[in-house]
Chain A
């Protein structure tokens, strides 16, 4: 069977990016990291080329991490292997509906929960 590949950039990341076509619910993918390690994961949802899946369970309100940095916040509970995109991830920057303090509060709450 053709290898379905996903890439995780750093160890801190809780998502990996799939670079394969035809990924549907239940497909298994090989998640590789930059050190040559790999892990097999079963995908939840239909995931287009270049889109992301969670590599561990992520709770609603937790930060999503890629490149070892925050890329937004989970707006729902996300299961390991589940498709992660704008339906369950929201930006915490450039938000006209929040003040700077709101963004900081979200960030420190998420950091506390992680600790």
Chain B
């Protein structure tokens, strides 16, 4: 089985061919946005970090932005630096360029301000787009696919329909030698024993318990507890009564195959195959960034209530488990897994539909989310305070 992808100089395969305009700090966002709005073929990331943070977080932001630049869906990169930020923009330039991609960098302060930086950056972005826009897709084996998975705006249909569909696709991809990554550590709470049982060894099992404990302790450290934060008011209105119930439904989407290991939030995957966990929170802006940073070429996203968000450089396929939501929000949902709830289709039938949609999206077909560019609200997950 094969799909048509862009083979990058480092051998990674992309499903998209974007020029990424990456602000190295939140204070450079508006310059990056202006450049990206002007130049077709570019995407940008409006995050809110990169200065006045604790050193481990500054490193985390630098690493995450590097990983976004390394994503195989990105063909070339323009880094927009303010000049005095806390992130290491020189390391960003160096490490992305080491992959063989064309990388350019501008500094707003050095260029004499915002309007001048926008002008210079726009011209650089134009030439990068012209340079990469003629690249051709090649036939590659399905084992080169890297899928990220996520559920958002869950209700009780998620764990019984749409997450089961994603689990079906995940198992099939793993069996074909591809890579699958799931996250949302918060939503392991109450189901971690089931995941630990699937770990390839004791070290991985221990790590799963550890990241869950860390997440639970971070929540408790505020002096109250997680209830009314997770599950969300929308989850509760949808019938989910506790974080445990939400988690047990959520982990259905990881399928049944062994768990190979745990990746840190900014980490980029190299040639690791099989099923992996990435330590992320559940909220969309942060997990989508973390998954795109992994190098995932696309995401399968399950929803019951109707969560519309996507990500600038990672196509997101929406699978809706609630038949009523699908009817109301068909314009935002790519697949209807609600037919499982109504008894009209089986998990396997919708699973096969999802698999063939995936092959088309990997080869260039747009998702509903991409067509309307509903993906500007993104962020990087940091651990310490803003100072």
Residues of A within 8 A of B (CB): 5, 7, 9, 17, 19, 21, 48-52, 64, 66-67, 69-72, 84-86, 89-97
Taking a contact as CB atoms under 8 Å apart, the answer to whether B245 and A96 are in contact is: no
- Stretch of B61-69, B222-230, B291-299 with 4 or more beta carbons under 8 angstroms from chain A: B222-230
Taking a contact as CB atoms under 8 Å apart, the answer to whether B244 and A92 are in contact is: yes
> Is residue B322 within 8 Å, beta carbon to beta carbon, of the partner chain?
yes
Which chain A residue lies CB-closest to B246?
Answer: A71
From residue B157, how far is it (CB to closest CB) to chain A in Å? 6
List CB contacts (< 8 Å) of B154-207 with chain A.
155-157, 159-160, 189-191, 194
Residues of chain B within 8 A of A95, CB atoms compared: 220, 225-227
What string of 1s and 0s marks CB contacts (under 8 Å) between B238-251 and chain A? 11011111001100
On chain B, the number of residues with a Cβ less than 8 Å from chain A's Cβ atoms is: 36
Which chain B residue lies CB-closest to A97?
Answer: B225
Q: A51-B239, A90-B227 are in contact. List 4 more A-B contacts (CB 8 A).
A: A48-B239, A49-B324, A91-B227, A94-B230
Question: How many Å lie between the Cα of A35 and that of B237 in the bound state?
Answer: 29
Looking at the complex, which one of B194, B230, B237, B241 makes contact with A69 (CB distance below 8 Å)? B194
Question: How many Å lie between the Cα of A94 and that of B155 in the bound state?
Answer: 20
Q: How many A-B residue pairs have CB under 8 A?
A: 96
Main secondary structure of the interface of A (DSSP, over half): loop
Residue of A9, A17, A89 with most partner-chain B CB within 10 A: A17
> Is residue B370 within 8 Å, beta carbon to beta carbon, of the partner chain?
no
Q: A49-B324, A52-B156, A69-B194 are in contact. Are A85 and B225 (CB under 8 A)?
A: no
From residue A18, how far is it (CB to closest CB) to chain B in Å? 8
Residues of chain B within 8 A of A50, CB atoms compared: 155-157, 238-239, 304, 322
Question: How many Å lie between the Cα of A52 and that of B241 in the bound state?
Answer: 9
Question: How many Å lie between the Cα of A94 and that of B237 in the bound state?
Answer: 20
> Is residue B132 within 8 Å, beta carbon to beta carbon, of the partner chain?
no
Q: A67-B249, A86-B236, A93-B244 are in contact. Are A7 and B160 (CB under 8 A)?
A: yes
From residue A1, how far is it (CB to closest CB) to chain B in Å? 17
Question: How many Å lie between the Cα of A69 and that of B194 in the bound state?
Answer: 10
Question: How many Å lie between the Cα of A96 and that of B228 in the bound state?
Answer: 12
Question: How many Å lie between the Cα of A48 and that of B190 in the bound state?
Answer: 25
Taking a contact as CB atoms under 8 Å apart, the answer to whether B239 and A85 are in contact is: yes
Question: How many Å lie between the Cα of A50 and that of B159 in the bound state?
Answer: 11
Residues of chain A within 8 A of B322, CB atoms compared: 50
Taking a contact as CB atoms under 8 Å apart, the answer to whether A94 and B243 are in contact is: yes
> Is residue B142 within 8 Å, beta carbon to beta carbon, of the partner chain?
no
Taking a contact as CB atoms under 8 Å apart, the answer to whether A69 and B244 are in contact is: yes
Which chain B residue lies CB-closest to A88?
Answer: B241
